[in-house]
Structure 1
Amino acid sequence: MAQETVSAQETVSGPADWRAAGDRIDTLIAASAAGGAVARERSEELVRLVTDFYGAGLERLLGLVHEHGRLDDEVLAALAADDLVASLLLVHGLHPYGVETRVEEALESVRPYLGSHGGDVELLGVTADGVVTLRLLGSCDGCPSSSATLKLAVRSAVEAAAPEITGIEVEAPAAGGAGGPGPLVTVDSLFSRLHEAASAPGDGGSSWEAVPGLDALEPGGVRHFTASAIPVLACRIGSDLFAFRDWCARCERSLEGAVPARRLGGASGDGVLRCPGCRAHYDVRRAGACLDEDGLHLDPLPLLVDGPTVSVAVPAPVSA
């Protein structure tokens, strides 16, 4: 029987490698099942023992740094900001920030997208058994985004920041409370249990695709690219990034050549895209609503910013 070996070149040495290491471990454990149940149990026990061993070392390391007065807020922030270190600390229950702090930071990362739809989300708390409770605020103001896309944007961010949570519940604003607008989308359709599949094959769900270099887009800049065969237009208004399908709702042509401009008489920070073909105007901050014709709008796509990495949620094709 041929034996599988691992060369020095295959050891975990960089970000791309360690992100795939977990999948590789799962693959090797599954392959060990070919040797029977006993072989698989031994493989799983080996992984547990090694994990516990390194976990104890990490805990002792943090203890020593703390004893010497070096584990200050700056160091804690640096540890939490490093994806690899933060992942290891999460596995061993040693992350410097509690689950509520991490969930709030995750929500902060998607607030620019929710804000572009006139909405927001508030963290109400996390129960002892790990259920996150949120409240939706604001309204879509005619936003065309689907509940599935909004669900993907928020849920993916929360899951990445706090994988130990067991579910997400959404509390609707009280009827007539403060005279505020209703929720972004129908609450019942927005969230399902965290660990359910994001979408079934062919159901028109969405998936994330990283866009290299998009974080470097300058204010007022526009970039056209393709994500999962879908043409996309991204632009930056002030410090906020926005993305839409590169498709004019009126003339059904690309917006190639459009640049964001301030609306006449508008407030500072406004952003309007004008189609070079039919000259239709679209309000970037109002989810691409057309200013010239009611009922028309661009199709906004969620963006998720994780440090220097920006990902766009692109709809999956709908099967016939």
Structure 2
Amino acid sequence: MDIAREELTKKPEEISAEKLQSLLDIALRSTAAASDPSHEELICCVERSSLLKKLATLKDLDPADKLAAADVDRSMQLSITGLETFCLSNKVQWPLSLVISRKALTKYQLIFRLLFHCKHVSRQLCAAWQIQQAFRSVKILGTPILRSSILCRSMLKFVNSLLHYLTFEVLEPNWHLMHDRLQTARSIDEVIQIHDFFLQKCLKECLLLSPELLVKVEKLKGLCLQYATSIQILMPSIDVANSENTSKSRKSRSRIDKSQDRDQQLKLASENVVMSESILKFEAAFNSELQSLAPTLSNSSQAEPYVTHLAQCILGVRIGQ
């Protein structure tokens, strides 16, 4: 994600798949994956549509859900980049292709895209958090900086809890379950059935077959990204950091002078109307979306027990209690 960032931030039609493949090969050769004889069969793909739009073409969705996903995708009007559309594929050889079909690969890609984008959002929020740490040594009580710091923590908690749910509550236990069931499989048909069941269950519990819930999650992730980007533009922390490192003459100044510089910079940040209004706007929008997620989860939990685990992870509440 680091070495390919410059390429992935472009629009899908502007991305060079060859360059991404080259970067992927370099990354694989520098890790333990190089010892895997199948690592050369891994290839990069860049989709031209958003995750919601791709889901609208999935046959496993009900017609009504397909229409809902497509409608919401149009209403959100996201300017997508490679970070939203990047995925991996594999040159599956026969007879393995009997189990891992083109349809199965598509399902793996949908799960990968969801995880990859969640990780991207988490990294952006971490970057925003680091920017705000320049103010740790000054008094921020009652300032927009403190409010922003609290909001950033809330957003990070949401995204990281979602990632925890997807990986440790869905993918890992279902993988172990499939592995155990495969040990007793007696025919290729049974292997295919077990594998298909695994994929279908993962898609379902990762919300990829529940457009109503997924749309809520996508909106929250979108707000997190917008906030992180705004912080990097509006937060004057770079000036604070630079005030201590610009020249030897500044290094020789007294601690009192440096403290006064920080206090002055913080005062300017506190009086920055644009930043204050932006933080309040993001805080209200994020809290509103997060609160509206609880009733949706509650309604879905009656038919889908896994939603209860999701609510516990990202909201910290037990649905129905």
Same fold per superposition (TM over 0.5): no
User: Structure 1 length normalisation: TM-score?
Assistant: 0.26
Greater RCO, CA 8 A, separation 6+: 2
